[in-house]
């Protein structure tokens, strides 16, 4: 099969977060990626901005530059549209291509809220297109190894699980200029939707679906935040945030072959640094015969990981009272990519296999499948439920 012809929305030469260049481009420009995908178009805020990006990333001169989502949607040479813009632009930039019947890959969150995510999902279903969302954590080697251990029955059935995490933005009272929009809940790209969305999807990919119990605790501990310059760190202004920076809730896990009836999940997530010397995240899974502990020293984004401080995976066997360290690693071809690109690359690989008739493992198996719009909508609805339960909506 010829390579899938791909258009990128949001690959900018001047973007503050540059996620497209960090997480998508390394795979797409690798030899493995180029054998399966060809970048044929860019959509930016203007044709000039798209041309600047083509030049900045040394893309072929044949790559088309678009500034209008409708014009991109009308291009017959595009098979797959990949949207990596700021969250509140996902809907407007992607909808015309969905309406035109093009397969579509959107970063997480799918849209700025559950309402817009639902509309995109329904339209995609109506058009019969393939959809992908970058909830990439479940595809990583750590959750895959966790599922293998749980399915094996090594710790017996799961009775409870607890997560305690800090970070996301490693400052208690300030926020970088490029992420100022994180302080506005309605934009949909913020600590609550991004950090908790990725983390909760990761947890549920291992433990199964969770149903929150009672009213969650969502608190704005620091409503006033200093906005700092991206380059110098100088304070530019002070803004008021309406986004929760402390999140705590309890949930019941669905019963399964390795999760006991009535098993519980407790989550506590706080923006800002951990206490000096404490890890960014500790996740315990308590079973009948043993307990798993995952420690992430420097990042709550265990979906991505850290090249300098990888997550630690240990099992305490109750009968022997011994603790064993469990090894896990990315595949060799993934280790050639930067950390943010490794799980994104796995999504691209799975999608290509699916389009070319290869076998893709289904949900519930040890190896996870990439997320669809339907799956992302489910996560949006869970997050919306927490906001409503705490009186934020």
User: What is this structure's pTM?
Assistant: 0.95
User: Binning pLDDT at 50, 70 and 90, where does residue 205 land?
Assistant: very high
CATH fit for domain 141-329, picks 1.10.20.60, 3.30.360.10, 3.40.640.10, 3.40.1280.10: 3.30.360.10
pLDDT value of residue 14: 75
Domain 4-133 sits in CATH 1.10.1060.10: no
Contact present, 88 and 117 (Cβ < 8 Å) = no
Distances (CA, A) of 373 to 122, 230, 261, 348: 9, 33, 29, 15
Is the peptide bond preceding residue 283 cis, with omega within 30 degrees of 0? no
Query: Does position 90 have pLDDT exceeding 60, yes or no?
Result: yes
Nearest alpha-carbon partner for 37 in 267, 351, 309: 351
Give the other-Cβ count within 10 Å of 47's Cβ: 16
Residues 223-253: pLDDT tens digits? 999 999 988 889 999 999 999 999 999 999 9
Average pLDDT, integer, range 327-353? 95
| Residues above pLDDT 70, as percent of the chain | 97
Cα gap 211→205, rounded to integer Å? 14
Identify the pLDDT of residue 365.
Answer: 61
Q: What is the pLDDT of residue 303?
A: 78
Span(s) in the chain for CATH 3.40.50.720: 4-133
User: Which tokens in the block code for residue 45?
Assistant: 């805020």
pLDDT in tens, 22-55: 999 999 999 999 999 999 999 999 999 999 999 9
Of 244, 265, 242, 269, the C-alpha closest to 254 is: 265
Residue intervals in the chain for CATH 3.30.360.10: 141-329
Give the bridge partners for 287, in sequence order. Answer: 158
Tokens encoding 62:
């044949």
343 near 367, Cβ under 8 Å? no
Residue 364 has pLDDT above 70, yes or no: no
- Mean pLDDT for 79-85 is 97
pLDDT at residue 327, rounded to an integer: 95
Percent of all residues in the chain with a pLDDT value above 90, rounded to a whole number: 87
- Using N-to-C axis directions, what is the helix angle for 373-389 and 114-127, rounded to 10°? 160
pLDDT at 357: 84
Q: What is the reported pLDDT for 137?
A: 85
Name which of 346, 387, 22, 37 is nearest 218 in CA terms: 387
| pLDDT at site 238 | 97
Q: Per mean pLDDT, which range of 13-27, 131-145, 327-341 is the poorest?
A: 13-27
**Tokens 């509309």 appear where?**
119
User: Which pLDDT score is estimated for 358?
Assistant: 72
Confidence of residue 17 (pLDDT cuts 50, 70, 90): low
Neighbours of 58 (CB within 10 A): 7
């Amino acid at each position: 099969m010829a390579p899938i012809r791909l258009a990128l929305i949001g690959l900018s030469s001047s973007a503050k977060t540059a996620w497209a260049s960090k997480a998508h481009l390394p795979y797409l420009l690798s030899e493995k990626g180029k054998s399966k995908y060809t970048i044929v178009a860019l959509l930016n805020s203007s044709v000039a901005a798209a041309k600047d990006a083509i030049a900045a990333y040394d893309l072929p001169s044949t790559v088309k530059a678009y500034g209008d989502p409708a014009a991109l949607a009308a291009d017959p040479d595009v098979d797959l549209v990949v949207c990596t813009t700021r969250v509140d632009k996902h809907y407007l930039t992607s909808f015309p291509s969905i309406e035109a019947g093009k397969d579509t890959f959107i970063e997480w969150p799918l849209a700025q809220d559950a309402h817009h995510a639902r509309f995109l999902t329904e339209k995609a279903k109506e058009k019969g297109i393939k959809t992908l969302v970058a909830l990439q954590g479940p595809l990583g080697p750590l959750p895959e190894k966790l599922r293998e251990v749980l399915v094996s029955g090594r710790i017996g059935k799961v009775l409870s699980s607890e997560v305690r995490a800090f970070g996301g933005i490693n400052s208690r009272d300030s926020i970088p200029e490029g992420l100022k929009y994180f302080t506005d809940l309605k934009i949909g790209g913020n600590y609550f939707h991004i950090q908790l969305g990725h983390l909760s999807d990761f947890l549920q990919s291992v433990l199964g679906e969770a149903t929150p119990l009672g009213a969650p605790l969502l608190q704005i501990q620091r409503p006033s935040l200093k906005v700092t310059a991206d380059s110098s760190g100088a304070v530019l202004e002070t803004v008021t945030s309406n986004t929760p920076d402390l999140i705590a809730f309890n949930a019941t896990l669905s019963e399964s072959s390795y999760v006991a009836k009535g098993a519980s999940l407790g989550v506590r997530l706080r923006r800002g640094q951990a206490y000096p010397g404490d890890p960014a995240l500790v996740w315990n899974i308590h079973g009948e015969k043993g307990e798993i502990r995952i420690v992430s020293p420097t990042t709550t984004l265990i979906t991505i990981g850290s090249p300098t401080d990888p997550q630690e995976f240990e099992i305490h066997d109750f009968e022997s009272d011994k603790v064993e360290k469990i090894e896990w690693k990315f595949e060799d071809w993934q280790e050639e990519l930067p950390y943010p690109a490794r799980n994104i690359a796995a999504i691209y690989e799975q999608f290509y296999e699916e389009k070319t008739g290869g076998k893709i493992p289904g949900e519930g198996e040890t190896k996870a499948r990439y997320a669809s719009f339907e799956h992302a909508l489910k996560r949006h609805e869970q997050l919306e439920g927490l906001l409503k339960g705490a009186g934020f909506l």
